[in-house]
Amino acid sequence: MTRRSTLAFVVVAAWLAAALGCASDEPPSKTAGVNRGGYYGGTIHSNSFPGTFGGGGYRVGRPAYRY
């Protein structure tokens, strides 16, 4: 392998590594500004209402009264 082809191989290898990183699901970094999660990178709660509840114990939604 010539020196030129070796360098070309290194460049392509670096490109492949970058490509894999671009497509990965690793957590985004806020320091990147707009990151792999788009504008909504980071953690969002899942299963935030795990159960069913109520039974008159909660008054929810916009109240209808004169402010």
CB of 19 to another protein, least distance (A): 6
User: Which residues are near another protein by CB under 8 A?
Assistant: 4-5, 7-8, 11-12, 15, 18-19, 22, 24-28, 30, 32-54, 56, 58-67
Q: Return d(Cα 59, Cα 61) in angstroms, integer.
A: 7
Q: Name residue 41's beta-bridge partners.
A: none
- Cα distances (Å, whole numbers) of residue 46 to 11, 38, 42, 49: 41, 18, 12, 8
CB of 9 to another protein, least distance (A): 8
CB of 16 to another protein, least distance (A): 9
